[in-house]
Homo-oligomer: A and B are copies of this chain.
């Protein structure tokens, strides 16, 4: 991808002028639903619906074709039957449209005839660059552009997401919304007839509104280019990849789904590792990692302190931290003395720091600060302190608020683990990105952060 395109791709996500070809008044059609999502989403830019047979859709004026739009179009969304796209893309080229997002399906994913049509379409596009075809759309939080089928509208934030499956991609966004994870850009890449995952990666590597890149992939058309772009990302910000089609069975399923050639896992593994790609091993871990990388600074070492309300959780936390590679830090006498003043005399005097039934939320927070501040500690896992006071949400809210402050102050990860279904409140929901559903999930995410920290240090040294 040329430098020029890197500059330009911002306009794909932040168009001043957006055309929507295939706009429809029929509420069952994609051409209606996606347009409605754009308008309801509060897009900060001009929208020009195109349909030769309608005058007004959703209350706004409709244009018969692209040429009749009186402005220079940055991005056109194309949502028409496949057989009409060639002509429309040709018009895009004529009108100087910079990007076309081809929602239309029925191309290479259906076989040889579709593949030919796809190639022809790319040729016809000229300088206009194509997303898709067979994409479910794009999203950009900064300018409130929600140009997809989904109703997901996650919190704005640093995570940008490239998905080879539109369905799964938008569902992950919806789940992310529930977990209060902040997203910046999203693109469902479809068949990658023109723009490829490598192009999007190159753009996001330098995109200031992106702090963490997430990707769901099934197959790679050009592994070398992908790895080059991936390295461009990982040298600056984390790149989290979930790779499906890892097995022969999965790869076979992928072939009939996205038309991409799924590559066997063994080939990816080593290359991914070398490029510093953070690998998500389950669909749930995709968001665990997005959460961790977007909420915490990288741990600068592997010495963990476990603060626990409930001995059992401490045992489990110690097991999992040890198994995964963390060191349970040995508390110095100085630290023990400080905690001594806060906890009942029979507290464990060791790590895990068992709060020993102390019912004072202030003391929990003071213990947390002692640990976050300590030179002996690189990261903190706080089990059951959140959700621990079921009588009211106030203490949970205070705990969350102070945890955010402590993370900022001491620049260390402090992951909270909910040990039971406690009180729920809007404030807690809005800060769900700090809370993990189990110590295993938190420890796994933090360990991958530590590994990325090591990778970043290694490439700095070179």
Please report A residues at the B interface, Cβ cutoff 8 Å.
Answer: 110, 151, 164-165, 167-172, 174-175, 177-178, 216, 218, 244-250, 252-254, 256-258, 262, 282-284, 309-319, 321-323, 328, 346, 348, 350, 352, 354, 384, 390, 419-421, 437-441
Q: Across the interface, do B167 and A312 meet the contact criterion of CB distance under 8 Å?
A: yes
- Chain B residues whose CB sits within 8 angstroms of the CB of A171 once the complex forms: 310, 384, 419-420
- Chain B residues whose CB sits within 8 angstroms of the CB of A253 once the complex forms: 311, 314-315, 317-318, 348, 350, 352, 354
If A247-B318, A390-B151 touch, whether A350 touches B252 (CB-CB below 8 Å) is: yes
Q: Across the interface, do A319 and B178 meet the contact criterion of CB distance under 8 Å?
A: no
Q: Across the interface, do A319 and B244 meet the contact criterion of CB distance under 8 Å?
A: yes
A-B pairs with the 9 shortest C-beta distances? A165-B312, A257-B311, A168-B312, A250-B319, A171-B420, A167-B310, A249-B322, A247-B322, A249-B318
Partner of A257, one of B178, B312, B321, B323: B312
Q: Across the interface, do B312 and A244 meet the contact criterion of CB distance under 8 Å?
A: yes
**Docked CA distance A249–B327 (Å):** 9
Name the residue of chain B whose CB is nearest to the CB of A176.
B421
Q: Closest CB of chain B to A79's CB: distance in Å? A: 15
- Chain B residues whose CB sits within 8 angstroms of the CB of A244 once the complex forms: 312, 315-316, 319
Partner of A245, one of B216, B246, B315, B323: B315
Q: Closest CB of chain B to A367's CB: distance in Å? A: 16
Name the residue of chain B whose CB is nearest to the CB of A352.
B253
Partner of A174, one of B177, B248, B420: B420
**Docked CA distance A164–B310 (Å):** 12
